[in-house]
A and B are shown apart, each in its own frame.
Chain A
């Protein structure tokens, strides 16, 4: 009795004989949804496992254009040097390099930058043998420091102009931090 057209005709014929059927209405009929739910859950779990919500993110980087070297005052330099074994050293102006751990680098950068406002130039010098992971960690710390510096400068109605560069680690640099 699945055919829609036939059902109508058949019903009319039977009306006279079985008048009781007329009152029977199909209200609140139920479909067994279990197979539907089964298959939907299966697909749902499949797509949940397949999908990757963590898309890679990007970190901005800039290299100075190929021009002649610019003379800068040494007193405004904040140098961070990374030795081949991953140890970090920092010094400001002509001070002797001091070892620093990664965790303290953020606070040191904030402190040094706020002393000289926008004048300070951060120079990062990295040994060729350092792992890329260490480099990104340092860049990340410096980027995080930037948030605090910008906030502090905005309180003084100043715009932050970041001066940052990555420079090659020369032999002179290496000698300065070799014994530390």
Chain B
């Protein structure tokens, strides 16, 4: 054997490009990461959304009133509406609306900080109507046009619920003169 194997002891790799790209990815994921909000922590259910073909319209993060229809994880048969508004200021205004004072007692308000649970359709209708009036008043307070935003309504229902629940919501929307709303779905993989 003429060739003597040279031992490569203590060789160094330049890690700078690796670190560069890793930091880039890290910052990207750090900025896109969204953590669970208080509202998500409070709720005991998880909504399994129905899947639909990929669309470009995404659920807005603000200026949206969401009606969730979910099955409680503790009892499968226990379906209920969960109502919430994304803007905290508007949400507080809605909860203080005089038209709701009859059934939305302080005790119940305490129970439902971020979303109101109800199984009664007329309570849901009162909430939708109160939101519409408060939203208009809220927008009127804003000075510039840019600050005003039209509130969207979204129905976020579990795929296992009966259509009756959806039909009731659609009737509520019709009676509240909120003819446009959205169904929340997940993207089909």
Interface residues in chain A, defined as those with a beta carbon under 8 Å from any beta carbon in chain B: 30, 33-34, 36-37, 40-41, 43-44, 47-48, 50-66, 126-137, 139-140, 143-144, 166, 168
Contacts and interface: CB of A to CB of B under 8 A. Distances in A.
Given A131-B160, A168-B167, 11 more contacts: A37-B15, A43-B26, A44-B25, A56-B58, A56-B185, A57-B187, A64-B179, A129-B163, A131-B162, A136-B159, A140-B53
B19 A56 contact: no
B50 A132 contact: yes
A51 B32 CA distance: 7
Contacts of B183: 58-59, 61, 136, 139
Contacts of A60: 57, 180, 182
Contacts of A37: 15, 18-19, 22
Interface of B: 12, 15-16, 18-19, 22-23, 25-26, 29-30, 32-35, 49-59, 69, 154-167, 170, 173-175, 177, 179-187
A128 B34 CA distance: 37
10 contacts: A37-B15, A44-B26, A47-B33, A52-B34, A57-B186, A64-B179, A131-B160, A132-B69, A135-B166, A136-B159
B182 A61 contact: yes
Contact of A66 (B34, B54, B175): B175
- The residue among A52, A63, A137 with the most chain B CB atoms within 10 A of its own CB is A63
Contacts of B51: 136
Nearest to A57: B55
Nearest to A129: B162
A134 B185 CA distance: 13
Contacts of B159: 131-133, 136
A24 B161 CA distance: 78
Nearest to A55: B58
A125 B90 CA distance: 36
A43 B28 CA distance: 12
A130 B162 contact: yes
Contacts of A62: 179-181
A141 B35 CA distance: 34
Contacts of B167: 126, 128, 168
B186 A41 contact: no
Given A54-B186, A59-B182, A47 B15 contact: no
Given A58-B57, A58-B154, A41 B22 contact: yes
B25 A58 contact: no
Which 7 A-B residue pairings sit nearest by Cβ, starting from the closest? A47-B29, A133-B159, A136-B50, A128-B164, A58-B182, A140-B52, A33-B15
B50 A57 contact: no
Contact of B161 (A44, A54, A131): A131
Contact of B26 (A40, A58, A66): A40
A148 B185 CA distance: 22
B185 A128 contact: no
Given A34-B15, A133-B159, A59 B52 contact: yes
B174 A144 contact: no
A59 B163 contact: no
